[in-house]
Each structure stands twice: as structure tokens, then as C-alpha cells.
Structure 1
Amino acid sequence: MAHTLEVYLAKNLIFHSDGKWLHPLLELDKFLSNKEYDQSKLLVKDKIVGRAAALILVCLGIQNVKAGILSKPGMDVLKKYRVNYKYKEIVDRIQCRTEEMLKNEFDPNTAYKLINKLASSANKG
């Protein structure tokens, strides 16, 4: 994988990002809002998927995920929402404050709003 996040339709790369934290997924949301893709048919390849990323992916309607590293809390979310997933490495948790903040959150919309708020305040600061 050449980028932090890659999105495929069939075998065609339609989006990629090299951003940090959860910004690539927020960028993907903006990208998808201007396109007419069936999100359930997309494959998202992400280097690291923790609980926060998994909740965003569910919120975006993504049904196919390949993770380089997947946290167990992220896997719990993907399982709960019946997202097809594969990973190279499973870890107990991602060392990220967002993973800790969302440790008991299972509602994708609530999580997305919180993450968007954090991203907006980080961009202002």
C-alpha cells in the first residue's frame, strides 16, 4: 500500500490520502459527498484501524475494509456492524486518545460528530 488510506471500486483506485490521524477518513467523507458511489461496494485499505476509524467507516457505509493494523476495539465495531474485514496484524488497542475517548461508544453517528468536532478544533488551534 503506497498511501495511508486507499479506496478502490473493483480494482480501480478512486481515492487516496497520506494524511495523519483520522483526517484521511474525513477527507474520504468529503470526496464521497460529491460522487455517486455505492459505498457498500467500495474497498477501503487503511494502514491503522482503531475503534474511531471503524466507527467512521461504518458511518460512511463502508462494508469492505483491509487494515494493516487492526485494534480489537476496532474489530468489535466492524463485527457488530457486519463489515467484511481483513488485517495483517491485530493489537489490543491503538495508542491514541481518540480510541480511549470512544472506548464505550458503538453509535457511529455520535462518534463521527465527536471526531469532526475534535478535527475542527485542532484546525483552529
Structure 2
Amino acid sequence: MLKNDLSFVIVKNGEILFESREGGVRKILETVRDHGQKLVNSALADKVVGKAVMLIALKVGFDSIYAKILSKSALDIASKANKSLVFDEVVESILNKDGTDICPFEKSVKFVEDPEIAYNILCKMVFK
């Protein structure tokens, strides 16, 4: 599903709704903010899915999620929500771009379980 160096793709009824080469939580948040209801019952394929992206996915109502790399916390969240999930590799945590610490988005939702609360926290970080 992820071809041509794409970072993420959103598909609904066999039609590509959105695709991006830009990685990270920011672009997914922008897409959700700008097209929220259109995304319900679609599928998300993303290179890296941590807890932050998984909580966004639950808020949106994606039917299924594919991740090349999935964090253990994202796997736990998806399992609790009975979300259809396919992944290539599970990692302990998602790191920042330098690989020196946990991703700041992941840190911000570490103790959050509610998708709506997570979405609001992440939006405040991105759309200051």
C-alpha cells in the first residue's frame, strides 16, 4: 500500500483519498483537521504508527490500519479497540528524529487512553 516513497496513504472504497511523502504526526493531523468526516470508514497505511497516530486513527474511525513499524503501545490500544491491524514490525517505542529520545508526540499521550483527549493535546502541539 505504501509505494513511491509515500509516508502515508488513506484509501476508501478502493479510491486513494490522500497520500503524502511528508512523515510524522503533523501531516496526519492536518488531514484529519481538514477532512475529518470524509475519512470515516477508510483505511490508513502509514510507515510508522505509534500511540499518537493510533489514537488519532481511533478518533477518525478508520476501519483498518497498516503500519510498517508499530509501537507496542499502539498495538495495545488497537487490541483494546478491536481495530483491524496489519504491521510488519513491532518496536518498543517510537523515537524522535535524532533517535536520542522518545518522540515528543508519544510523550504527550503516554498516559492518555481517550482518542478525543489525545487529538486535542496533539492539535495544541501542532497548531499553536
TM range (shorter): 0.7 to 0.9
Structure 1 residue 88 corresponds to structure 2 residue 88 = yes
Quote the Cα distance in structure 1 between the aligned partners of 2:105 and 2:29. Answer: 14
* Correspondence for 1:62: 62
Spell out structure 1 runs of 4+ moving beyond 4 A.
none
Instruction: Look up the equivalent residue of 1:5 and give its one-letter code.
Output: F
Answer whether contact 1:44 1:65 (CA < 8 A) is retained: yes
Q: CA deviation at 1:67?
A: 0.3
SS at match of 2:61: coil
* Correspondence for 1:51: 51
Distance 1:86 1:34, change over 3 A: closer
Q: CA deviation at 1:18?
A: 2.2
Say what the alpha-carbon RMSD is for the aligned residues: 1.6
SS at match of 1:54: helix
Aligned length: 118
Normalised TM-score (structure 1): 0.85
Post-superposition CA distance 1:8-65 (Å, at most 9, x none): 1233212112223212211321343374x6x22x111000000000000001111200
SS at match of 2:105: helix
SS at match of 2:127: helix
Mind listing any 5+ residue stretches in structure 2 that lack a counterpart?
96-102
Post-superposition CA distance 1:79-100 (Å, at most 9, x none): 1111100001110110112212
SS at match of 1:86: strand
Structure 1 residue 22 corresponds to structure 2 residue 31 = no
Answer whether contact 1:71 1:91 (CA < 8 A) is retained: yes
* Correspondence for 1:73: 73
Instruction: Look up the equivalent residue of 2:43 and give its one-letter code.
Output: L
Quote the Cα distance in structure 2 between the aligned partners of 1:87 and 1:33. Answer: 24
Instruction: Look up the equivalent residue of 1:29 and give its one-letter code.
Output: V
